[in-house]
Amino acid sequence: MFDLPAYDGHEKVTMVEDAETGLKAIIAVHSTAMGPAAGGCRLWSYDSDSAALVDALRLSKGMSYKNAMADLPMGGGKAVICGPVAPENRVRLFEAFGRAVDGLGGQYITAEDVGVSVADMEIIATQTRFVSGLAGSEGKSGGDPSPFTARGVRVGIESAVKAAMGRSDLDGVKVAVQGLGHVGMYLCEELASRGAQLVVADIHAGRVAEAQVRFGATAVHVDDILMQEVDIVAPCALGGAITENVAGHMRARIVAGAANNQLLTPEAGRILARRGILYAPDYVINAGGIIMVAGEISGNNAEAEVLAAVDRIGGRLDDIFTRAQSGEALTFEIADLMAQSKIRAARKLKAA
């Protein structure tokens, strides 16, 4: 593991295997410099155990950067569970996962990610208190973080549209949304209600049909969605969508979406920049969900305050875009440097 490019001095990586339930999981704690490592739990069928490890390493580092950039008192961590999971085994498996999280004594706090629901979090909560994303109550945010993520992405898209197109509204702006899952569908709702025109794709035909009916979206094949002649491409499926080839040929002016680790390589980001395509750093624009989760963890989760905190994503991106346009560095480089410097400062403070 120590030789993997995805390894970045992670504080702790725990391999979990539970023979009784068949649970195989990896919990990666990248950094606790700013607070307990918080980040979702992903359930995915990986091609290999090493692919799962690389995913956990990359995603947990991304969470450190995301939490730092959102000014949250939390470090970065992530868990991956190797699927598939038989439905009849789900409860026992998430109980076993909850015990593993509990065993870390609060170093890691879990929440939802791809493939995992509020109901799974409620099961985990029977075994540990180090869990969030539980159902909210009247006037308090909680539960599924994805509407908050989608709102943050919409605010970020508005910021990108201002920077790249000199416009302060989304009326008639064309957006290609890749992936109509939890976040993608809420994002379509946010965008359509502001007059944006949507082009969509998902591997599940039912999700596509829903977006067509609800938002008048145009459906295209999953292989074509990133190449649409639109203003914005919003990757909301899995990571690595922006390959060097995609970056070199895509026709949008802006890449701004919810997926983690959108750039397959830094070179893909450099190609976007060379072609004048504005890239909104993923972990800055998609922080809405973790901002909600942080409110839930701290108990400061009055909905109005959480929404105001999510909306501050726009200002952060305005700043990054302005600095990039002045030639300081590329957008994702600026975000990395800012996040690294915040984490370094917190580490120093902790050590003092």
Among candidate residues 61, 78, 174, 342, the one labeled active-site is: 78
Residues 135-154 that bind ligand NAI (CB under 6 A): 145-146, 149
61 catalytic, yes or no?
no
Q: Provide the H-helix boundaries in 198-330.
A: 205-215, 244-249, 266-274, 282-285, 288-298, 303-311, 313-325
282 or 323: CB nearest ligand NAI: 282
Q: What's the closest the beta carbon of residue 147 comes to ligand NAI, in angstroms?
A: 8
30 or 182: CB nearest ligand NAI: 182
Rounded to whole angstroms, the Cα distance separating 231 from 175 reads: 6
Residue selected from 181, 281, 295, 314 as contacting ligand NAI according to rule CB under 6 A: 181
Residue where the block lists tokens 């359509």? 192
Is 134 a binding residue for ligand NAI by CB under 6 A? The answer is no
62 or 98: CB nearest ligand NAI: 62
Name the DSSP letter for residue 105: T
Name the DSSP letter for residue 58: H
Q: What's the closest the beta carbon of residue 222 comes to ligand NAI, in angstroms?
A: 4
Is 76 a binding residue for ligand NAI by CB under 6 A? The answer is no
Rounded to whole angstroms, the Cα distance separating 242 from 281 reads: 12
The tokens describing 60, both together, are 């947990």
127 or 146: CB nearest ligand NAI: 146
Name the DSSP letter for residue 113: -
Q: What's the closest the beta carbon of residue 317 comes to ligand NAI, in angstroms?
A: 15
Burial label for 229, CB within 10 Å (0-12, 13-18, 19+), is exposed
Rounded to whole angstroms, the Cα distance separating 17 from 7 reads: 21
Strands 254-255 and 278-279: parallel
How many chain residues bind ligand NAI (CB under 6 A)?
A: 28
Helix (H) or strand (E) holding 26: strand 23-31
Cβ atoms of 132 and 110 within 8 Å: the answer is yes
Is 238 a binding residue for ligand NAI by CB under 6 A? The answer is yes
Using Cβ positions, the residue closest to ligand NAI within the complex turns out to be 181
Residue selected from 160, 183, 271, 339 as contacting ligand NAI according to rule CB under 6 A: 183
Q: What are phi and psi of 143, to 5 degrees?
A: 75, -140
Cβ atoms of 202 and 258 within 8 Å: the answer is no
The closest of 218, 215, 245 to 230, measured between CA atoms, is: 218
Rounded to whole angstroms, the Cα distance separating 318 from 71 reads: 16
Residue selected from 104, 161, 250, 259 as contacting ligand NAI according to rule CB under 6 A: 259
User: Binding pattern to ligand NAI, positions 77-116, x when CB under 6 A?
Assistant: ------------------------------------xxx-
User: Binding pattern to ligand NAI, positions 272-291, x when CB under 6 A?
Assistant: --------------x--x--
40 or 98: CB nearest ligand NAI: 40
54 or 323: CB nearest ligand NAI: 54
Q: What's the closest the beta carbon of residue 62 comes to ligand NAI, in angstroms?
A: 9
| Contact window for ligand NAI (CB under 6 A) among 18-26, 30-38, 175-183, 335-343 | 175-183
**Helices 288-298 + 146-165 axis angle, to 10:** 140
Cα angle: 122, vertex 124, 129; to 5 degrees = 95
79 or 183: CB nearest ligand NAI: 183
Residue numbers at the binding site for ligand NAI (CB under 6 A) = 113-115, 145-146, 149, 178-184, 201-204, 207, 222, 236-239, 258-260, 286, 289
Q: Which residues are catalytic?
A: 78
